Amino acid sequence: MIREIAEKLLGRSLTNYDGFDVETIENAETKLGQSIPAILKEFYITVGKLDIFMSSFQRFLKPEDLFYEDGKLVFLEENQNVCYWGVNIADTLVYQTQSIDNAVWYSEEILLPDFLQMIMYGQCAEGGYPFSGAIYDMDQDELTEFIEEITTKDWQKVVDHNNWIIYENDRKLIWYFTDDNGNLSEDYPLFVSTPTKEDFLKMEEEFGFSDLD
């Protein structure tokens, strides 16, 4: 799953140089005194040295920096150190806390494999892909029509969690946030992120996205 998504988003095959070697992960486990969940090990071994997935927005801890807190393996920190994510080893549920000291953990209500998939798309959307734009004046009815249009053009919904929606088509990402009623958030526009300028110009011409720069 990790390899398939990574290669799709990168547009190339992965190599052994894109991730950490097994020995590095085993040394991290020895330091922790406990095994790292299999899917997280796969993540580090497969893409652990690729900034686009590891640090382009949120920041994954390096294997040697992983640590346990309150029975949870902490593996990810928010880009401004506002919060941290950890996984409960017993059931692989992901939790978030705003502070490591005297941590209060809140369930993300998502399992680690699904969370990693979401974050891989999210990292590309929110910084990993260098070209981005937005449509600022779209209302809910227009959004509904827009989504109906793109889904007839082979766009697939790849993220739908915690008021965050991402659609993908050939390494192009359309994404937005919703309110608690499922409507387009008034605080954010409709975004697009692409890996190339050519792709962005196509999105600009076809759908009317404006360059964020």
Domain residue limits, the chain: 2-124, 129-211
- Give dist(CA 37, CA 86) in Å, integer: 11
CA dist 33 to 20, 41, 67, Å? 19, 15, 10
- Give dist(CA 112, CA 148) in Å, integer: 30
Q: Is the pLDDT assigned to residue 108 strictly greater than 70?
A: yes
- Give dist(CA 33, CA 193) in Å, integer: 40
The matching CATH number, chosen from 1.10.155, 3.40.1710, 3.30.310, 3.40.50, for 129-211 is: 3.30.310
- Give dist(CA 116, CA 48) in Å, integer: 12
Average pLDDT over residues 112-132: 97
187 in Cβ contact with 143 (< 8 Å): no
pLDDT digits (tens, 9 = 90+) for 65-96: 999 998 899 999 998 888 999 999 989 999 99
Q: At what angle do helices 22-32 and 38-47 cross, to 10 degrees?
A: 140
pLDDT, the chain, mean:
95
pLDDT digits (tens, 9 = 90+) for 131-176: 999 999 899 999 999 999 999 999 999 999 999 999 999 999 999 9
Is 2-124 a domain of CATH 2.60.40.10? no
* Torsion angles phi and psi, residue 178, rounded to 5: -115, 165
Question: For the chain, how big is the Rg over CA atoms in Å?
Answer: 18
115 in Cβ contact with 108 (< 8 Å): yes
Q: Is the pLDDT assigned to residue 29 strictly greater than 70?
A: yes
pLDDT at 57: 96
Contacts of residue 97, Cβ cutoff 8 Å, sequence gap at least 6: 83, 84, 86, 103, 104, 105, 106
Question: What pLDDT band is residue 213 in, cutting at 50, 70 and 90?
Answer: low
Question: What pLDDT band is residue 101 in, cutting at 50, 70 and 90?
Answer: confident
Q: Is the pLDDT assigned to residue 11 strictly greater than 70?
A: yes
Q: pTM, whole model, 2 decimals?
A: 0.95
- Give dist(CA 99, CA 30) in Å, integer: 26
